[in-house]
Every structure is written in C-alpha cells, then in structure tokens.
C-alpha cells in the first residue's frame, strides 16, 4: 500500500491488496488493518492454546499425583482423628463401666448393711418391747424420736436402685454438687459430677447407717445400765425390810474369772460379735430386772388403803379398850367406812371370815414365809383359796371385832412372826420412785 497525496484532503493510506496468480487465473483481495489484527489475534490465541495444551499434557501426571497425595494426607488425618475419638469413647465407656461396677459394689454393700441392721432390729425389737414394760423411761437417756421408734427401724429411710437410676433418701443437709472439679484429671465435667454425686450419696448413706448402728449399741447399753440400776434399786429397797430373800438375790453371782476374748479383726464379724455381746447383756439385765419386779410383787410393799392417818403403830402401846400396855402386831390405818381394801402383794387367800378380835379378817399367803392380815372389815369380797394380785380389792373398811371406830388393822408376818409394816411401805415408796 502506498500513500497518495490529494490536493484537497492531503495525504492518506490505501489498504493492502494481495494478488495471487496461478496460470491464467489471477486472484486478488484487499487486506484491511482490522482484518489483519483479527487474524493475528486468532493465530496468537491458537499458539497460546497449543502451548497450554502441550504444557498440560506434559504436567498432567504431576498434578494428578500431587492432588492424590494431598487427598491421601487429608483422608489419613481424618482417619487418625476418628481413631483418636474412638479410643477416647472406648476409654470413657470403660471408665463408665468400671464406675458402674464400683457403684454396684457399693450399693450391694449398703444393702447388706441395711439387711444386717434390719435383722438386728428383728432380734432387738422383742427386747425393746420387753424393756418398755420393765425399764422406766426417765432412766433411759435420749428416748427415740418419732422417726426413731424401735418398731420402725430407728428411722431407717434408705432406698437403693442400681446406678442407672440411683437415688437415696439422705439427710436434708447434703451439699449441692457442682460439675467439673479440676482436681480429678481424666474425667469430663458431667461424668465427674455424676461420680462425685454418687460418692457423696454413698458417703451420706454410710454415715446414716453408722449412726443407726451406733444408736442401736447406745440404746442397748443405756437400757442394760438402766435395767441394772432399777433392779439394784428394787433389791436395795427390799433389803431394808430385813428379808434374807431380798438380800440373797440382789448380788448372788460367781464363777471362774476368764478375760473377755478379743473381737474378730474383721469389722463385720467384730460388729456382729459386739452386737451379740450387747444383746446378751441386755437380755441378762432384763431377766434380772424381771426377777426383781416379780419378787417385789410377792413382797407386801403396797399401801392397802387410802388412809387419813395412822392411829396406832407397830409394837408396844396402851390397849385401846383396856388402856393397859399391850403389844400391837400391826398398824391401824384410819379410813372412812366402806373404803376399798387392796391386797398389798400377789398371793393366795388362806383365811376369809370372822376371827375373834380381828373381826372380819382376810389372811393372804404371799409365799416365802410372807403373810398379810387385814382386820375389822365391814365386808369380805374374797374367799379362801382365791388367787389375788397386788391391788385387787379384797374387802371394805369397817369396825368389826375389838375396834373403837372405822379403820383397817394391817399386819405383815414373816414365818408367822409379826414385823413392822412401815419398813415394807417405805420400800414400796422407794421402788415406786424408780418404776
């Protein structure tokens, strides 16, 4: 293309013309600038694409290998993570299984202790029921509260389930459990909290069972001491009457001296042995107290009548009718006409009827050489051969026989010899204070 200069427009460029001659045939075409640029761009793009395709074909294996290696590293990392998590889950499961076994063992131990205490209670309850009728309550320290009566297991309110549903009724003062104690490593917060809660509950129940066991021993020892104290007081009071029977039974004991064998080293066997010893001691003490009370019921220590006074005591006195000195074998208790007269001890009526100066008289044989006489009755309400108990009404106050007015002539006789009834009444008052 050549430049031409126009006189009017000046200089301008002409498009390139390409002429192709082939034999007789001549072809030509005009190449514009924008067409050349488009063709050049297309060729350049084709060259770049060719180069890129060639490079891809050359580097494809390396890229695929690198991607596969990266994917393998990622997969291996995930597998390691999964293995670590699985191992952690296994450790937690194993720990939970061990914790469950420990809990089950603790629950089984507590249930055994509860059964032992219940069995002890079944053996102790008859003695407690017996003691309630023998031992005076003021001498028993720390009487059971309504929640600790002997009949209901001393307030044992403990229930057990397995660890999956563990619950126990403990005292209201249990401290709240907070999750996540850093002091115990290897346990997560919730697992640690559940284990700590279970340990706290087991500790509370164990302490409660210990208190119940100590309470059982304490009550048995207290009842044993109280029974012996009461029996000693009864024998001491009866001894003041001068009866050899009372003195002989109060401290009659003997046998060779043998040291107390040691308790077994095992705590359970030691507690069982200790319970048996305490139970036997309580049984012996109650037997002794029962014997003392049975003896007291056969000794005329009660007051036969609600009196207004004593008009004449035992021993020497002026005869109420003759006025001369005479021996009075009993005591005269002033009472209104018709006042009930009570037997002063258990026994058998050996006489009931008129008897000279006694008027209407009842004589009761209490055994062991002891007899009582009740004279001047207005009415006799028993007959010969009747068995009477202490406090039974045997007649009414009157003024029959050698009498100057309504009163009761009362005698106590030992081996058919009259003794002063006052010492027996004093013994009755002393025994009444401890019963």
Distance CA 183, CA 162 (A): 27
pTM above 0.85, yes or no: no
Burial class (CB in 10 A: 0-12, 13-18, 19+), 273: middle
Distance CA 278, CA 259 (A): 16
For residue 77, what are its two tokens?
A: 């990392």
Range 309-434: architecture per CATH: Distorted Sandwich (2.70)
pLDDT over 70 (residue 416): yes
pLDDT over 70 (residue 432): yes
pLDDT at 11: 57
For 60-98, the pLDDT digits (tens) are 777 777 778 888 888 888 888 888 888 888 787 777 777
Let me know: does 407 contact 335? Beta carbons within 8 Å.
Answer: yes
Percent of the chain with pLDDT over 90: 21
Q: Of 170, 285, 296, nearest to 227 (Cα)?
A: 285
pLDDT at 418: 93
pLDDT at 36: 73
For 257-270, the pLDDT digits (tens) are 656 566 554 555 56
pLDDT over 80 (residue 387): yes
pLDDT at 255: 61
For 310-329, the pLDDT digits (tens) are 888 898 888 888 888 889 99
Distance CA 31, CA 18 (A): 7
pLDDT at 337: 93
pLDDT at 16: 67
Mean predicted confidence (pLDDT) in 362-379 = 94
Q: Of 107, 108, 214, nearest to 168 (Cα)?
A: 107
Q: Which residue has the higher pLDDT, 435 or 52?
A: 52
Q: Which residue has the higher pLDDT, 318 or 360?
A: 360
Q: Of 215, 206, 205, nearest to 152 (Cα)?
A: 215
Element (H, E) at 205: helix 189-239
Let me know: does 33 contact 1? Beta carbons within 8 Å.
Answer: no
For 140-180, the pLDDT digits (tens) are 444 444 344 333 333 333 333 333 333 333 344 444 333 33
pLDDT over 70 (residue 355): yes
Distance CA 397, CA 321 (A): 20
For 12-53, the pLDDT digits (tens) are 566 667 777 777 777 766 767 777 788 888 888 888 888 888
Burial class (CB in 10 A: 0-12, 13-18, 19+), 237: buried
Mean predicted confidence (pLDDT) in 362-378 = 94
State how far Cα 146 lies from the chain centre: 13
Burial class (CB in 10 A: 0-12, 13-18, 19+), 312: middle
Mean predicted confidence (pLDDT) in 341-359 = 94
pLDDT at 29: 66
pLDDT at 371: 94
Let me know: does 399 contact 357? Beta carbons within 8 Å.
Answer: no
For residue 369, what are its two tokens?
A: 């050489």
Q: In which residue ranges of the chain is CATH 2.70.70.10 found? A: 309-434
Q: Please enumerate in sequence order all residues whose Cβ is within 8 A of that of 28, keeping only pairs 6 or more positions apart, or say none.
A: 17, 18, 19, 20
How long, in residues, is the chain? 435
Mean predicted confidence (pLDDT) in 323-342 = 91
Distance CA 12, CA 299 (A): 166
Let me know: does 16 contact 31? Beta carbons within 8 Å.
Answer: yes
pLDDT over 80 (residue 368): yes
289 φ/ψ sector (left φ>0, alpha ψ -120 to 50, else beta): alpha
pLDDT at 222: 85
Mean pLDDT, rounded, of the chain: 75
pLDDT over 50 (residue 333): yes
pLDDT at 81: 85
Let me know: does 210 contact 111? Beta carbons within 8 Å.
Answer: no
């Amino acid at each position: 293309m050549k430049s031409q200069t126009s006189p009017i427009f000046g200089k301008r460029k002409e498009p390139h013309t390409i002429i192709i001659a082939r034999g007789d045939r001549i072809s030509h075409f005009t190449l514009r600038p924008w067409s050349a640029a488009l063709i050049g761009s297309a060729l350049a793009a084709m060259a770049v694409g060719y180069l890129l395709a060639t490079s891809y074909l050359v580097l494809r294996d390396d890229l695929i290998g690198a991607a596969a290696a990266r994917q393998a590293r990622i997969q291996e990392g995930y597998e390691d993570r999964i293995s670590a998590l699985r191992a952690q889950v296994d450790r937690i499961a194993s720990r939970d299984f061990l914790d469950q076994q420990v809990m089950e063992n603790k629950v089984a131990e507590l249930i055994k202790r509860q059964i032992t205490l219940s069995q002890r209670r079944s053996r102790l309850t008859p003695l407690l029921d017996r003691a309630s009728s023998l031992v005076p309550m003021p001498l028993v320290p720390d009487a059971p509260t309504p929640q600790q009566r002997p009949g209901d297991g001393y307030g044992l309110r403990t229930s057990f389930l397995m660890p999956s549903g563990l619950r126990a009724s403990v005292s209201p003062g249990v401290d709240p459990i907070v999750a996540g104690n850093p002091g115990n490593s290897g346990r997560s917060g919730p697992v640690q909290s559940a284990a700590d809660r279970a340990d706290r509950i087991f500790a509370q129940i164990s302490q409660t069972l210990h208190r119940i066991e100590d309470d059982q021993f304490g009550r048995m020892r207290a009842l044993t001491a109280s029974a012996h104290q009461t029996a000693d007081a009864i024998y001491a009071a009866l001894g003041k009457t001068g009866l050899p029977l009372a003195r002989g039974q109060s401290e009659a004991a003997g046998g060779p001296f043998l040291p107390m064998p040691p308790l077994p080293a095992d705590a359970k066997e030691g507690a069982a042995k200790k319970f048996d010893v305490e139970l036997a001691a309580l049984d012996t003490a109650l037997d002794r107290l029962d014997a003392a009370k049975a003896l007291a019921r056969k000794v005329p220590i009660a007051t036969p009548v609600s009196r207004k006074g004593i008009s004449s005591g035992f021993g020497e006195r002026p005869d109420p009718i003759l006025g001369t000195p005479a021996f009075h074998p009993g005591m005269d208790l002033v009472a209104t006409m018709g006042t009930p007269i009570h037997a002063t001890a258990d026994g058998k009526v050996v006489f009931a009827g008129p008897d000279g100066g006694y008027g209407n008289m009842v004589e009761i044989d209490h055994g062991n050489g002891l007899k009582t006489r009740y004279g001047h009755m207005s009415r006799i309400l028993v007959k010969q051969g009747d068995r009477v108990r202490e406090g039974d009404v045997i007649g009414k106050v009157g003024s029959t026989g050698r009498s100057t007015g309504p009163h009761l002539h009362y005698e106590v006789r030992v081996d058919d010899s009259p003794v002063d009834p006052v010492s027996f009444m004093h013994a009755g008052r002393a025994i009444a204070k401890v019963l």
